[in-house]
Structure 1
Amino acid sequence: MNSPKNELSPEHREDLLKTLKIRFEKHKNRHAGLDWAVVLEKLESSPEKLWSLSIMEETGGEPDVIGHDPKTGDYLFCDCSAESPKGRRSVCYDRAALESRKEYKPQDNAVDMAAEMGVELLSEEQYRALQQLGSFDMKTSSWVQTPTEVRKLGGALFCDRRYDTVFLYHNGAESYYAARGFRGLLRV
């Protein structure tokens, strides 16, 4: 992550920080009691995290602070776009699922994309916590971390929000749909 290809130009860095600050101030309900100046200080000391946030932004995630972990001191950034990020849809769950497809393979998979971006896929618990901050995935769905036992049997889990309720579903891990992507979580 610390290689020059993952560093932002000064202009890109400034634009990203400006976007993040505007979003932070617009959606105070997502991070009540947190101070942008403190978050900014953490961001400025973590160029690799800024790169990850940049990719989250470029793929349509609209990342924002959704919490603070008092144990680690980390600020938690999550994709807060209304729908699953457009630049991360039509992907199957993981590499094994992608390789198992004989034809009509998707371009990529959620697990590898998240790792390349330096983010984590949301767990079901994190997804449900995000839904407490707003209504997300009303027309789309998002892959979430899948327990090993389920994955070993060929399945993967995803969530969405319908009828003012958050649902957890299963599908074959190799499946992919234009309306299914994934949301990332970044610890800064």
Structure 2
Amino acid sequence: MPFKDNFIAHPQRHPGISYDDIKNLIDPATLAYLEDPDVLAYQGHLYLVDFSHESPSRRSVCYDKEARVQRKKNPPITSAMEEAQKHGLSLVDEDMYMYMQSLAPLDEKSQSWIATPSSIRELGGALFGSYKYGRAFIFYNGADAYYATRGFRCCLLIK
């Protein structure tokens, strides 16, 4: 769905914000990279976010460059963090992911890497989220893991 249509179809994600309020704040290149992009009003700010029902099709990537480089067998060509940073984006963090899940179930058949606290990453782990059994869950995995069903959700602070 085109961005404007998606924005108009989901006002609960950005109450009180009109398309005219944000249309000039959105970079077309960023918009093109995100899947089902929409604006999310969250903690007093506006973010441009991947709102695809399932994890974006940017999949089969480990968490970050360190995990990718250290992987001994079959390393993927990139990672979630490298891709996000290359496009000037951040991974959605745990709190934002859970808030997004409160608005609509996401990742019912997939999983999404999310920003991981350094205390977990330093131990070799990384976090991902999914929606199962009528609720959202946050799980952990080795940062070097990658699966065809796991992608990553990005966001960009716009205001």
Distance 1:38 1:157 in 2: 34
Task: Name the residue aligned to 1:116.
Answer: 86
Give the match for residue 27 of structure 1.
Answer: 10
Q: Which residue of 1 aligns with 2:24?
A: 41
Distance 2:51 2:157 in 1: 15
Determine which of 40, 50, 58 is the counterpart of 1:79: 50
Q: Tell me which stretches of 4 or more aligned residues in structure 1 moved more than 2 Å.
A: none
- TM-superposition CA deviations, 1:64-113 (whole Å, max 9, x none): 0111664xxx5311111000001x11000000100011221112100010
Once the two structures are superposed, the pairs formed by residues 1-188 of structure 1 within 5 Å of their partners are 19-43=2-26, 49-56=27-34, 61-67=35-41, 70=44, 75-86=46-57, 88-188=58-158
- Contact residue 39 and residue 75 of structure 1 kept, 8 A: no
Q: TM-score of the superposition, structure 1-length normalised?
A: 0.79
Q: TM-score, normalised by structure 2?
A: 0.93
CA distance in 2, matches of 1:114, 1:41: 22
Q: Which runs of 5+ in 1 are unaligned?
A: 1-17, 44-48
How far, CA to CA, are the matches of 2:3 and 2:43 in structure 1?
Answer: 19
Q: 1:82 to 1:178 in 2, by over 3 A?
A: same
User: C-alpha distance in 2, partners of 1:142/1:69?
Assistant: 21
| Bigger relative contact order (CA 8 A; separation at least 6) | 2
Given that 1:144 and 1:158 are in contact with CA atoms closer than 8 Å, whether structure 2 keeps it comes out as: yes
Q: CA RMSD in A?
A: 1.5
Question: Does structure 1 conserve the Cα–Cα contact (< 8 Å) formed by 2:130 and 2:137?
Answer: yes
Kindly indicate whether the alpha-carbon contact (under 8 Å) linking 2:37 and 2:50 is maintained by their aligned counterparts in 1: yes
Alpha-carbon shift at residue 54 of structure 1 (Å): 1.4
Number of equivalenced pairs: 158
CA contact (8 A) 2:38 2:49 kept: yes
| Counterpart Cα distance in 1 of 2:46 and 2:24 | 11
Q: Among the aligned pairs, what percent are the same residue?
A: 38
Bigger proportion of residues as helix? 1
Aligned residue identity for 1:33: G
Q: Distance in 1 between matches of 2:66 and 2:95?
A: 24
Structure 2: 5+ residue stretches without partners: none
Distance 1:38 1:69 in 2: 18
Letter matched to residue 81 of structure 1: S
CA contact (8 A) 2:42 2:96 kept: no
Question: Which amino acid is the alignment partner of residue 79 of structure 1?
Answer: D
